[in-house]
Structure 1
Amino acid sequence: MKNLKFPSAQTVLLLIAAFVAILTWLIPSGQFDRLAYNKDENTFVKTNKENSITLEATQKTLDDLQIKIPLENFTSGAIYKPISIPNTYKKLAARPQGFKEFILAPLKGIIQVADIIILVLFIGGLVAIVNYTGAFEAGISRLSKLLKGKEYTLIIIVTSLIAAGGSTFGLAEETIAFYPILIPIFLAAKYDAIVALACIYIGSSIGTMASTINPFSTIIASNSAGINWTTGIYGRITMLVIGLIICVLYIIRYAQRVKKDPTKSIIFSQKEMIEKMFLFNNSSGNINFTFQLKMVLCIFILCFIIMVYGVSNLDWWFLEMTGVFFVGALLIGFICKINETVFVETFIKGANDLLSVAFIIGIARGVTILMEDGLISDTLLYYSSSVTEGMNKGFFINSMLFVYSGLSFFIPSSSGMAVLTMPILSPLADGVNIGRESVVNTYLFGMGLFNFINPTGLILASLAIVKVGYDKWLKFVMPLVIILAVVSMVFLTISVYI
């Protein structure tokens, strides 16, 4: 028993995929009808497994379908994905996923998320080029001197900035780029890799959990629920502030304990291995932080600023983000006059270092494909809506919190969850005499809470970069998840009674 090790992230995901494949044999197949807006023809298209029909794009059509959403939410482009139509759930012929489907699902997943995988590989290449120049080494040495005795400020700054990104534009997959940069900084500050992981991943998670103006969750969920996205925003801001304070204090408490006594680290047994991977030579203090190296770091940081601006304001997505990092690598190679052969070899080696992360992202998507092909996601949604119907306010809203946490294992996409569930679950709020914004908040908080540990989300890919096991992460983060769950329940209960 002593020699038993927790399985790798890839193995964990394959085990989950096998579990989901088994569920497709046990859970009845079924599906709600879908309604999509055709912008070019200004019509609705109603589809099910048998056929599709074209309908007039009018408010009367929505009313006839019992969809309580203003027409302008569709015509303005606020709802751009097909939504579920209430009271249309039908059981379908079983679609159990067998051995062949289980084997092909991870491969299909890798193909579907090829754009994310390419982004991850190019980030690895850029980081390797910057490492080759020595800019990280010199910059970290300078930063360590500036923060001496005040290292905890790094935790506050990093966690708060990433939380702000998560809350406003859904900063999530993009955070993968930050790990290779920030881990050496936190290690140089005498913290462990868990602290760096926590600041980035928990920062993103608490930000998306209390999304304020995030178009991929709050806005699309509110529109799909038939309400203005500003409804309930002050409550979400309050929850963001409270949650962020709790998370920062939790991380600082652990970080200070590790700084005083490294043996208190959850990953103390991996200390030498991780430091060998991420820390530079002790001679780093003697490296001259030249103008050229400062230029390299400025270009590197500028890549992230441009990426954030492009995603927020120019409708950029993974392809454009990848292009930014590629151009950044080329510019650094030109400025530092890196030999062409050395540049290519270094870039490819850096991409190879993140190949395992890329595979994890693809395999995780494969789990979702098994559920979609097995037609069980809508069945779970249907029975979830039946369970919560007719409850009193407090019990209803807290039950919905856990319904959304459970559903997020099967539907990890925030926008996908919104358009599939909101037309079905948000009208239930009318029956218990509470505002639909409360259901939007339970969707955010429920998904956000489970996101801290969701193996079909980004956590396994993040852990693979830091070389930390999933079991170690659970040991670190579960007390925080419990605290946030209690705070969320209290917040939601108070909100439906005032």
Structure 2
Amino acid sequence: MNNVNVAYSVANSTEKDPKKRFKLRMPGAFVILFFLTIVAVIATWAIPAGSYSKLSYDQSSSQLKITDPYGKVKSIPSTQEELDKLGVKIDVTQFTSGGITKPVSVPNTYQRLKQRPAGPEAITSSMVRGTTEAVDIMVFILVLGGLIGVVKASGSFESGLLALTKKTKGREFLLIFLVAILMIIGGTLCGIEEEAVAFYPILVPVFLAMGYDSIVCVGAIFLASSIGTAFSTINPFSVVIASNAAGINFTQGLTWRIAGCVVAAIFVILYLRWYSQKVKANPKFSYSYEDRDEFNKMWSVTSTEGNENSSFTVRKKLILTLFVVGFPIMVWGVMSQGWWFPTMAASFLTFAIIIMFLTATGRNGIGEKGVVDAFVGGASSLVGVSLIIGLARGINLVMNEGLISDTILQFSSSLVTHVSGPIFILVMLLIFFVLGFIVPSSSGLAVLSMPILAPLADTVDIPRFVIVTAYQFGQYAMLFLAPTGLVMATLQMLNMKYSHWFRFVWPVVLFVLGFGGLMLVMQVLIY
């Protein structure tokens, strides 16, 4: 009889929930990137191969080097006169001073080349090579994970969170507001959205303790920093290098960019406030509610007020202080000292070693083996995030080696040669939106596209800084969505589904394209 009841229950549950069996689910980050790698390989067969000549500066000989589409290299004197002959409207000091380090496309040099299709083996080999090329940021992430593991093992997170939640009770959104403002400022000044990955471990447990969800965490950090970068004012990795490659001073259009950044900041803060209040009032409103328990298990930090280990001792305060102080030092190093991921990793490793010593010794110390295991465990938890970054770079390798990126750029430039005024700049905005998927690096897209597309502004009598602004808006509207960019690593780190993120971010993408397009049209009409 029991067997019959069990069989009936199983059959009945199947009849009641037929939709669940066939529910379409968005694949995870690894599957999406694997699929896009296959698409990139197929594209190398379908899209004609071609290339522009590339211009770079050789420090050893103090000369400019031109590599033509067929790979032949020619050296020329590093003078402004030579650049003018090439039609490259860039100050020569940008090359000689190291302001521009990546090869620059030379206008009017595009050549169709013999097709270079990628074979099936490129699917896996590009993943491996992309991962090795991304080793600098991967080491940074692993060191960061190890640092987090040690701080968690010390019990400092639990005690600090208990103290913080008491002080912020009733004013929870204030922390989101402050974090978002700082991220927007960091984005507009130095493009900090890549480095912002370091802030999740310290802020996510805090947001969870305040009753928010994973979407709020990504919104306050990644979304806010990326909005700041989209409306960059003096970001050297975006607007400055793009302006240099366009042959103009980056201060041109600065007033417009500041005004745009202020409006965008207000929009994002209001959007975050609306969403966070909805989640606070009703947790089931959360776009990621179905994964809430798993996310909380992964990131939440619980403590009991009466527990002896929850007391906020001097040692725990010192450990948390050391942990937190590493982040402003990182920002300072990036903005003023030219730090990159290896230096940042070394900086965090220094703090990790000091904290390991404090955690291992003393009355409640966990010993040498305990801190080492904690470091290794923390690092291993972020291995997936590191691999995602490498896989995304592998897609770009396939397209570059298949010589299809320049073909897409040349085709894009042909779309705007016979239009003028507002239509011209709106088409340019959409072109940069598409190119943002193909070349997710802001500095990489700047040096590849600006020498080709910026001169087109002269043909329709508009300032070149408007092209630079279109590049910012278009590329970053795409980078909120593009799996080839940073977003997949962010979602993997927080174990968030892409579909949940898309549901939250698409209004922001429309805002950037809509408000950005309006600003661009106003600039064209005024000038």
TM-score (norm 2): 0.92
Counterpart among 300, 309, 322 of residue 345 in structure 2: 322
Change (3 A) 1:262 1:285: farther
Distance 2:418 2:63 in 1: 35
Distance 1:280 1:35 in 2: 52
Hey, what does 2:60 align to over in structure 1?
40
Secondary structure of 1:283 counterpart: coil
Instruction: Report whether the alignment pairs 1:340 with 2:368.
Output: yes
Residues 140-178 of structure 1: per-residue CA shift (max 9 Å, x gap): 111111111111111111111011111111112211111
Give runs of aligned pairs for residues 21-420 of structure 1, distance below 5 A: 21-48=41-68, 49-283=70-304, 287-336=310-359, 337=361, 338-420=366-448
Secondary structure of 1:179 counterpart: helix
Hey, what does 2:502 align to over in structure 1?
474
Please tell me whether the aligned partners of residues 170 and 216 of structure 1 are also in contact (alpha carbons under 8 angstroms). Answer: yes
In the TM superposition, residue 41 of structure 1 has moved relative to its aligned partner by 2.4
Hey, what does 1:2 align to over in structure 2?
20
Q: Which runs of 5+ in 2 are unaligned?
A: 1-18
Distance 1:134 1:414 in 2: 40
Secondary structure of 2:48 counterpart: coil
Letter paired with 2:400: E
Change (3 A) 1:50 1:484: closer
| CA RMSD after TM alignment | 1.3
Secondary structure of 1:16 counterpart: helix
Please tell me whether the aligned partners of residues 122 and 326 of structure 1 are also in contact (alpha carbons under 8 angstroms). Answer: yes
Q: Which runs of 5+ in 1 are unaligned?
A: none
Give runs of aligned pairs for residues 427-438 of structure 1, distance below 5 A: 427-438=455-466
Please tell me whether the aligned partners of residues 138 and 285 of structure 1 are also in contact (alpha carbons under 8 angstroms). Answer: no
In the TM superposition, residue 7 of structure 1 has moved relative to its aligned partner by 1.0
Residues 61-99 of structure 1: per-residue CA shift (max 9 Å, x gap): 112111122223322322222100000000111111121
In the TM superposition, residue 284 of structure 1 has moved relative to its aligned partner by 5.2
Letter paired with 1:494: M
Hey, what does 2:40 align to over in structure 1?
20
Change (3 A) 1:171 1:330: same
Hey, what does 2:10 align to over in structure 1?
none
Change (3 A) 1:88 1:285: farther
In the TM superposition, residue 282 of structure 1 has moved relative to its aligned partner by 4.5
Please tell me whether the aligned partners of residues 154 and 316 of structure 2 are also in contact (alpha carbons under 8 angstroms). Answer: yes
Secondary structure of 2:99 counterpart: coil
Residues 324-359 of structure 1: per-residue CA shift (max 9 Å, x gap): 111111111112324111111111110110000011
Change (3 A) 1:205 1:284: farther
Please tell me whether the aligned partners of residues 241 and 446 of structure 2 are also in contact (alpha carbons under 8 angstroms). Answer: yes
Distance 1:469 1:97 in 2: 30
Change (3 A) 1:50 1:323: closer
Secondary structure of 1:2 counterpart: helix
Distance 2:95 2:296 in 1: 52
Please tell me whether the aligned partners of residues 141 and 285 of structure 1 are also in contact (alpha carbons under 8 angstroms). Answer: no
Distance 2:305 2:443 in 1: 45
Secondary structure of 1:102 counterpart: helix
Secondary structure of 2:304 counterpart: helix
Letter paired with 1:423: P
Distance 2:378 2:96 in 1: 45
Residues 222-279 of structure 1: per-residue CA shift (max 9 Å, x gap): 1111101111111111111111111111111011001101111111111222112212
Which deviates more, 245-254 or 311-320?
311-320
Instruction: Report whether the alignment pairs 1:457 with 2:457.
Output: no
Distance 2:458 2:305 in 1: 63
Distance 2:38 2:305 in 1: 47
Hey, what does 2:525 align to over in structure 1?
497
Which deviates more, 426-435 or 50-59?
50-59
Task: Give % identity.
Answer: 41
Distance 2:62 2:303 in 1: 65
Distance 1:76 1:359 in 2: 34
Letter paired with 1:169: C
Distance 2:122 2:146 in 1: 33
Letter paired with 2:52: F
How many positions carry a matched residue from both structures?
Answer: 498
In the TM superposition, residue 54 of structure 1 has moved relative to its aligned partner by 0.7
Distance 1:142 1:220 in 2: 44
Secondary structure of 1:394 counterpart: helix
Please tell me whether the aligned partners of residues 390 and 432 of structure 1 are also in contact (alpha carbons under 8 angstroms). Answer: no
Letter paired with 1:344: V
Please tell me whether the aligned partners of residues 137 and 284 of structure 1 are also in contact (alpha carbons under 8 angstroms). Answer: no
Please tell me whether the aligned partners of residues 124 and 347 of structure 1 are also in contact (alpha carbons under 8 angstroms). Answer: yes
Distance 2:470 2:329 in 1: 33
Secondary structure of 2:121 counterpart: helix
TM-score (norm 1): 0.98
Distance 1:74 1:38 in 2: 9
